[in-house]
Amino acid sequence: MGRQKNKYDFDLIILGSGAGGGVAAHVAAGLGKKVAMIEPEEIGGECPNWGCVPTKALLHAAEIYEIAKDAKQYGIKIPTVDVDYSRVKKWKDLAVHRTGTSEGKEIYENLGVKMIKGRGHFLNPHEVSVGTKRYTAAKFLVATGTVNFIPPVEGLDKCKYITYREAINLTKLPKSVFVIGGGAIGCEFANIFAAFGSKVHIAEIVEHLLPKEDEENGNLLASVFEDTYDINVLTSTKVAKVEELKNGNKKVFFKRGYKIESVIVEQILVAAGKRANVDIGLENAGVEFTPRNIIVDKTMQTSAKHIYASGDVAGPYMFTHMASYQSKIAGHNLFHREKIQANYKSIPRCTFVKPEMASVGATEEELKRGKIAYNTASTPINVIGRANTENAHTGFVKVITSKTGVILGASIAAPRAGEMIHELALAIQYSMKAEQIAATIHAFPTWSEAVRLACSKIH
């Protein structure tokens, strides 16, 4: 190691300052290593600047607006309820500011991490180029995240569309929006815009919204979108062509079966997924990758032994909590002989729509594909006390177990699903049986009672 210290500029260079890189930087700096971090954009990466934090802040504002509109039925008088969308954006900015990303550079520098602004590109296995400078390191962690996937839709390149990055910074609410993509990002923005009063159309090529989750989650969300928000849900739909009209509006042509229909909207939001940001000269470093991710083993090591990868660029899930977890593992394994391995069996997945959708472990679809025998039980949330007192009746808890009752997966649609799911994540992590949760007393009246009820139905 002593020789390496003289040979290279740094012990570790981290490409990317998001969740996939940040934790490892803390770990390595804590071990006294000489660390540099290369970041072309805002410190903190996707989640605090353009992803989870701003969207959750906007969803919260939308929820407050809805509560204010509905206050009358609870005896609360609010004379006029109106939206100033530029101030909604200011609230979002405050939430982003409070994450501390604006002071991120100083925080890392206080740890002794050298922050380098720019886009890193491997020139060889131990050297990266950033602008006009080059830096060498004994080891690397690639945490470059993702880039937006823009689908090959005719006319889209000639049309002014927005992605989630622009959508979070709108200061004026569009009258109408066509969302291309019914995954988590598309659904959350559909919910935000529709709650504030935009007319929303959402198109998904798969048969149901939230295609990575079980069909019933997507179908429930579609019915809530249609009934509560008057969203035009277009599943099994391919956007064929878009045109920008003279007044700036956009005409979207979409294909459902053999039928081609069209709709005119003020704004198009492209939310058709993300792709791993692998355009960083990985070939020059001997790192194997696919267009979807960098190939890593369970220790987060790539095909080049001194290069690790973590976060969205490594997959298999693109979540901040996943990236932090992987980054911690990579940070340890980069400098220790005894390696720790990642375990993905209980990674919670949440979509913060109304009602919230959360799931963990295997889906029914995955078990069917793997020809694994399973039992399932579900309970609607309207049977529990909390649904009555909060006047929220839409949702369910579904539990999937092995034939011996060990919990393999679960999905929840309920107002606090993102909180409720962790009980089931814990159960999956430690191979608990449904009957153990069923035998545990849950407080009345809580949403989590629905978890106990669903587990009690497994026989």
The residue (of 284 and 446) whose beta carbon lies closer to another protein is: 284
Q: How many residues bind another protein (CB under 8 A)?
A: 12
- Least distance from another protein to the Cβ atom of residue 180, Å: 23
Q: How far is the CB of 13 from another protein (least distance, A)?
A: 15
CB burial string 126-140: b at 16+ within 10 A, e below: bbbbbeeeebebbbb
Burial 441-459 (b: 16+ CB within 10 A, else e): ebeeebbbbbbbbbbbbbe
Least distance to another protein, CB of residue 295, Å: 17
- Nearest distance, CB of residue 286 and another protein, angstroms: 11
How many whole angstroms separate alpha carbon 244 and alpha carbon 246? Answer: 7
Question: What does residue 309 show for φ and ψ, rounded to 5 degrees?
Answer: -140, 145
Q: At what angle do helices 320-333 and 19-30 cross, to 10 degrees?
A: 30
Question: Where does 230-265 have alpha helices with state H?
Answer: none
Cβ proximity to another protein, 92 vs 121, nearer residue: 121
In the bound complex, what is the minimum distance in angstroms from residue 6's beta carbon to another protein? 20
Least distance between another protein and beta carbon 133 (Å) = 9
Residues near 144 by Cβ (< 8 Å), separated by ≥ 6?
15, 16, 120, 276, 277, 278, 280, 313
CA dihedral over 204, 246, 166, 230, signed as positive or negative: negative
CB of 246 to another protein, least distance (A): 29
Minimum CB separation of residue 148 from another protein in Å reads 15
- Rounded to the nearest 5 degrees, what angle is found at the Cα of 209, between the Cα atoms of 205 and 210? 110
Q: Which of residues 104-123 bind another protein (CB under 8 A)?
A: 119, 121, 123
Q: Which of residues 123-152 bind another protein (CB under 8 A)?
A: 123-124, 129, 131-132, 134
Here's the x/- map for another protein, 48-87, by CB under 8 A: it reads as ----------------------------------------
Site for another protein contains 376 (CB under 8 A): no
CA distance 20 to 29: 15
Task: Considering the complex, state which of residue 131 and residue 385 has its C-beta at the smaller distance from another protein.
Answer: 131
User: Shortest Cβ distance from residue 107 to another protein (Å)?
Assistant: 27
Query: Judged by CB under 8 A, which stretch of 10-18, 278-286, 323-331, 398-406 contacts another protein?
Result: 278-286
Residue 368, H or E segment: helix 364-369
Q: At what angle do helices 52-70 and 184-196 cross, to 10 degrees?
A: 30
**Could you say which residues in the range 281-300 bind another protein, by CB under 8 A?**
281, 283-284
List the structure tokens of 421: 């799911």
Distance in Å, CB of 118 to another protein, minimum: 9
DSSP assigned state of 289: B
Q: Are 269 and 287 in contact (CB under 8 A)?
A: no
Taking the least distance from each CB to another protein, the nearer of 136 and 284 is 284
Q: Is the dihedral of CA 389, 378, 321, 144 positive or negative?
A: negative
Closer CB to another protein, 228 or 284, in the complex: 284
| 80/132 with CB nearer another protein | 132
Using the minimum distance from each CB to another protein, give the nearer residue, 124 or 343: 124
Look up residue 156 and give its two tokens: 């889209």
Q: What is the DSSP letter of 406?
A: B
Taking CB under 8 A as the binding criterion, the range among 221-229, 275-283, 327-335, 355-363 that sits at the site for another protein is 275-283
Give Cβ neighbours of residue 231 (< 8 Å, ≥ 6 apart): 190, 194, 200, 201, 202, 225
Query: Which of 84, 279, 297, 390 is the binder for another protein (CB under 8 A)?
Result: 279
Residue whose CB is less far from another protein, 130 or 350: 130
**Which lies closer to another protein via its Cβ, residue 230 or residue 279?**
279
Per DSSP, the residues of 321-347 read HHHHHHHHHHHHHTT-SS------TT-
Nearer to another protein, 7 or 336 (CB): 7
CB of 210 to another protein, least distance (A): 33
Provide Rg for the chain, Cα atoms. Answer: 24
Please identify, using beta-carbon distances, which residue of 110 and 124 lies nearer to another protein. Answer: 124
Residues near another protein, by CB under 8 A: 119, 121, 123-124, 129, 131-132, 134, 279, 281, 283-284
